[in-house]
Structure formats: structure tokens, C-alpha cells
Amino acid sequence: MARKNYLFTSESVSEGHPDKVCDRISDAVLDALIAEEPEARVACETFATTDRVVIGGEIGLSDRDKLRGYMEGIEDIARACIRDIGYEQDKFHWKTCEVQNYLHEQSAHIAQGVNGGEDKDEGAGDQGIMFGYACRETPELMPAPIHYAHQILKRLAEARKSGAEPTLGPDAKSQITLRYEDGQPVEVTQLVLSTQHSDEGQTSSDIRAIVEPYIREVLPHDWLTDATEWWVNPTGRFVIGGPDGDAGLTGRKIIVDTYGGAAPHGGGAFSGKDPTKVDRSAAYAARYLAKNVVAAGLAERCTIQLSYAIGIARPLSIYVDTLGTGEVDEAAIEAAIPQVMDLTPRGIRHHLGLNRPIYQRTAAYGHFGRTPEADGGFSWERADLAEALQKAL
């Protein structure tokens, strides 16, 4: 039997966190190439440290001359990302940091397994397992701790960029511990917020006075109580931040990107990977399916696992767990899923419209629990499959 009364914690990091700077650059490279050619192949990794950004990996366009032309623009892409995030520090400035580009053409051996042909459907870009999850804790059908940890940092970034809070810096982290009663979140017991600031004279108390109104604006009003413990900039001064304070790397915040530890993770990162890579596209499909299972009223909570092998189009397995909340048998949902969605890499891309430049916006504040956008961004957050699932069952 599932526990009903417990504490659970999730964390988030801001767009200026060193790892998120790298995710953003990698996804910006992906967007630039996929805007030129929807079938572009990209596996881009970024490393950032004091005054330096290093970009590497594999990319591919059908026209090699165009590919060479895009190589020349990679530095400008990286600088534009750093500028938008807001870094103009002495030792990490969008205009002056060194950008090194080591991207090269995609391996022919990988391409032969992934590319389709007359007698072969397009295969998965790698082996692996991917998970999707949904629950009724929030209107977005996301676990509450990770959802609100994201929302706090997103709101503070808006205040910083609007000029309302000019002393706040781009680098920040949040963490929320929620108390659950009868399976539902009812109270914040611990709240941690560390944010970079530009004024060396500001104390932890000064920073709390700045951020607390925004935090209260985001959280349900009755969740913050007299018993809530606040830890704002608990180490004191936080002036040196971003890649100058700590090195960053693409794909190092996979739990922040997904469900905050409330659900399993297959291990593969998302950013910098084109949608032939099932690490990304199948994780999006699994979230889409889990969300629609919950939206259809088939369960209060749902975990879905998909598995793939490199070069093989169809998933090797589909696993559904409704965690004791299901209204129908899980095996019946497993049987219904292939009836309502083609889970080959090509089928996922077509169903969700993933061959579009929609990825840079996913690099901060989570890939899930977002609002579907008119241009196809966050299409995996639609709940338009619920009726088809009900009919298939």
C-alpha cells in the first residue's frame, strides 16, 4: 500500500546555473540546425568554466557545404545564449569569453543504424530505457515539489530581467520539502533558495526580503506556515556565480529536467540531442502517454517505461504502473498504447511534431509541466489522446 503521510523534497536550478548555461547552448545549436533542415542530426555537448565555453559532438546536414557554413556561426549562437541569460561578469562575459568549437560530422556508423531506407524504417539512435510520469498533485499533472521549485526560480528570473530586482544574478537554486497528508501536499516544511547577487554588502536577510514576496506569490497561500523553515543564501555571500564559480556541463541536471525524483529516470539526458535520439523523443512520448492516462481518468498516478535498441524502430517493451490508483488493468493500458500512438522514432516525431526548432526553451525550468505552445513547443504536454485511450480500452 502506498504511503499517505510523508515528506518529499525536489530541487530546481535557474537558467544561469552553469549546467543550464550548457544545456541552453547545446539546444540553441540544435534549434539552428533543425530550423535549416528538419531532419538534421545533432548530438551537441557544451562545457563552461571561467572565461571559456567548449562545444563538441556530432552534427549532420544533407548538404555538407551548408554544414560548413553553420560551423562558422556556432560561436555567435553561444554568445547570444550567454547574453540572454544575463552574464556580464568580469570572468564570464558574453562578449569576451573564449568560445571553442569542436563539433564535427556525424559518424557514418551511427547514421547507418538510424537512417531509414527503402527496406528499413528509421531506427532508434541508441539503446536505452525512458520513463514518463503524471499525477494529479497540480493542474499540470506534475509532482508538486518540482513544479513549484521551478516556478519560484522562473518568477525570480522574470523579476531580474524586467529590472524590478537589479541586484539579483542569473545563478540560482531552489529546493522545497512538502509535507503530504493523505497523499496530498499540504505544507512547505523547508524552503531553500540560493541566488547570486551583485551587491557584496547584501546579507542573507537582505536577500530574503527581496525574494520572499515572489515566493509567496508563486506558492499556494496556505502552504507557507509559521512552522516553515526558510534557508535563503544559507552560506552568506553569493556574488561569484555561473561558470566562473563552478564548471558546467550539458546533461547534468536530468532529475531537475524531469520529475524531481518523484519518478524513475532512464539515465539519458535531453539537451543537445535531435529527436531521432530516443533519450529525448521517447521520454517526451512517455510523459505524453502518462499524462493522457491520468487526464483520461484511468489513474490518479501513472508511470510508463519504454525501451529501445539502436537501429531498431519499434520499442522493445512498454510497461505501465498506475501505482495502485488505476481504474483499469495496467496490462490493458499497455495493449491500448500502441493502438493510439506509433512509438517508432519516426512515429513519435510526426505525432508530436518534434522536427522543429522548439528546444532552446526547454533548457531551463523543466521539460515537463509546461503549457503547449502555438508553434509546437511542449507538444508532449497536450492532453489530446485521452479520448482515444478511453475508446481503445
Would you name the residues annotated as active-site residues? 17, 19-20, 45, 58, 173, 238, 246-247, 252-253, 273, 277, 279
First to last CA, the chain: 26
Annotated binding residues for ATP: 17, 171-173, 237-238, 246, 252-253, 269, 273
Annotated binding residues for Mg(2+): 19
5 grid coordinates: 503521510
Annotated binding residues: 17, 19, 45, 58, 106, 171-173, 237-238, 246, 252-253, 269, 273, 277
Query: Which residues, at least 6 apart from 190, have a Cβ–Cβ distance to it below 8 Å?
Result: 9, 175, 176, 177, 228, 229, 231
Annotated binding residues for L-methionine: 58, 106, 246, 277
Annotated binding residues for K(+): 45
Query: How long is the chain?
Result: 393
